[in-house]
Amino acid sequence: MKGLKRVVEPLAALRAEVGDLEVLFGLAEEEDDAATRAEAVRGLEGLERKLRAFETQRLMSEDLDAGNAFLSIHAGAGGTESCDWAQMLLRMYTRYCEAKGWTIEEVALLAGEEAGIRGVDLRVAGPLAFGHLRAEIGVHRLVRISPFDYQGRRHTSFASVDVSPEVEEGAIEIRSEDLRVDTYRAGGKGGQHVNVTDSAVRITHLPTGVVVQCQNERSQHKNRAQAMRVLLSRLYERRRREQEAAQLAKYGQKGEIAFGSQIRSYVLQPYTLAKDHRTGHEVGDVGAVLDGELDDFIEAYHNWRLEQQAGKK
């Protein structure tokens, strides 16, 4: 019901807005009123933005696009610079998700030694969370004058972003003998209790080497359950990407499965530009992008992906 309402209700609202604008434009013409005409033009521009967003939503029709997601950010090589960049990305995605009205839950966080974060795992809950955030999978590159360099030199930093869908238990088989479970003392938020008990859980899937951890809950049992949900999500997405890679190979196309490939650059010096290397979409206002204005990039990604799928048929 909710999924159908997400399609029907926005469409009905768009149709109603078209009718209102037609009336407004008619009044502006009849009365030759410049102020009314300007108001109608502003309304039309807003309607066009809503229509583009609706069309992008229509492209998110694959299994699990409509559901929740797990988002991970990991600093690349470069020490403090990359850790700081990873924290900037965490802020960017937090603002984006909050603007969408989605719920963000921290699963695990590893702080940097001097500044920033070495890695973070988040659970993002909201309609079409995975469909939107899958556009962000890959390596993100930052070019700026380093605030940590007393000589004021330009530095390049990298951080990787991975996104996987939240799936139901049983979506993929995980054998207990394929798991290694380690417990350790959690740090950070949670009060004194988490720092004196082995409540944090790390699970390694031995056949694939996938490692997940959870330290957000005070209970080891709850942390283990959440870590298993993350592991299930990662393994499901890994299988999906392998199938997609096999499909691309079948059609003779060469391409990486996003994670580990550089998808976007954010340049703050000597000029300002955020550019997606897959779609070619670019924005000069990097500050707005880092404040969470990502919809244009995500719209461009889904249109590009549709073209890629059409080209291999």
Per-residue model confidence as pLDDT tens digits over 42-74: 999 989 888 887 888 888 878 788 899 999 999
Averaged confidence pLDDT in the chain: 86
CATH of the domain at 268: 3.30.70.1660
Number of domains composing the chain: 3
Best-predicted range by mean pLDDT (52-56, 187-191, 235-239): 235-239
What is the C-alpha to C-alpha distance for residues 168 and 181, in angstroms, rounded to an integer?
A: 21
CA distances from 63 to 26, 58, 66, 151, 167 (A): 44, 13, 8, 50, 10
Q: What is the pLDDT of residue 187?
A: 63
Query: Given the structure tokens 């592991």, which residue do they identify?
Result: 231
- Same structural domain, 232 and 105: no
- Same structural domain, 78 and 156: yes
- Same structural domain, 150 and 262: yes
Query: If pLDDT is split at 50, 70 and 90, which confidence band does 148 have?
Result: confident
Q: What is the pLDDT of residue 272?
A: 95
Mean per-residue pLDDT, 96-107: 95
pLDDT in tens, 20-46: 999 999 998 888 888 888 999 999 998
Final residue of a structural domain among 247, 277, 297: 247
Query: If pLDDT is split at 50, 70 and 90, which confidence band does 312 have?
Result: low
Mean per-residue pLDDT, 253-273: 70
Question: Does the predicted model carry a pTM greater than 0.85?
Answer: no
Q: What is the pLDDT of residue 248?
A: 53
Mean per-residue pLDDT, 161-176: 88
Residues sharing a CB contact under 8 Å with residue 35, sequence separation 6 or more, in sequence order: none
- Same structural domain, 29 and 143: no
Output the six-digit token pair for 207.
Answer: 């056949």
Alpha helices (H) in 101-212, listed in sequence order: 129-133, 192-196
- Same structural domain, 222 and 84: no
- Same structural domain, 46 and 188: no
Residues in a beta bridge with 11: none
Q: What is the pLDDT of residue 168?
A: 85
Q: Say yes or no to pLDDT of 105 above 70.
A: yes
Structural domain includes residue 280: yes
CATH of the domain at 187: 3.30.160.20
What is the C-alpha to C-alpha distance for residues 174 and 224, in angstroms, rounded to an integer?
A: 14
Mean per-residue pLDDT, 114-132: 93
Question: Strands 138-145 and 117-125, how do they pair?
Answer: unpaired
- Same structural domain, 101 and 232: no
- Same structural domain, 74 and 211: no
Q: In angstroms, how far is the first alpha carbon of the chain from the final one? A: 33
Q: Mutual orientation of helices 295-311 and 34-59 as an angle, nearest 10°?
A: 50
pLDDT in tens, 266-278: 999 889 999 999 9
Lowest average pLDDT, out of 128-137, 165-174, 186-195, 285-294, goes to 186-195
Residues 195 and 134 sit within 8 Å (Cβ to Cβ): no
Residues 247 and 175 sit within 8 Å (Cβ to Cβ): no
- Same structural domain, 36 and 89: no
Q: What is the pLDDT of residue 249?
A: 58
- Same structural domain, 261 and 160: yes
Domain around 191 = 176-247
Structural domain includes residue 64: no
Residues sharing a CB contact under 8 Å with residue 137, sequence separation 6 or more, in sequence order: 161, 162, 163, 258, 259, 263
What is the C-alpha to C-alpha distance for residues 219 and 227, in angstroms, rounded to an integer?
A: 12
- Same structural domain, 73 and 107: yes
CA distances from 228 to 91, 129, 174 (A): 26, 20, 9
- Same structural domain, 141 and 266: yes
